[in-house]
Amino acid sequence: MGRCSKGSHEAAACLTAGALSAAPAAAPGAPPPVSVTLRRILSASFPGAIYLSHASSRSNVNALAKAIHGLKTRGFARGTLQVS
């Protein structure tokens, strides 16, 4: 096992505390609007972040291209994680 950065621990704490849930969904169980999903992704970005997004939500699917573009404009790059 590797060591986690301070940013990783802070991001995990935010997720656990629900800090990324800035706006409630339109209805119980309904996915948030794309704008909310996008804001959550971009506001929680930090060097070394690994994003896991499921296609189970139309909001996730529709926000993906905008999220990648937004992260690129902030200087982040996509990469491949290899585990041996």
Q: Which domain holds residue 68?
A: 6-21+30-73
Residue 61 covered by a domain: yes
Residue 81 covered by a domain: no
pLDDT at 5: 59
Residue 78 covered by a domain: no
Residue-averaged pLDDT of the chain: 75
* Total number of domains in the chain: 1
For 41-54, the pLDDT digits (tens) are: 999 999 888 888 87
Alpha-carbon gap, residue 74 to 70, rounded angstroms:
6
Alpha-carbon gap, residue 73 to 51, rounded angstroms:
17
Residue 36 covered by a domain: yes
Residue 52 covered by a domain: yes
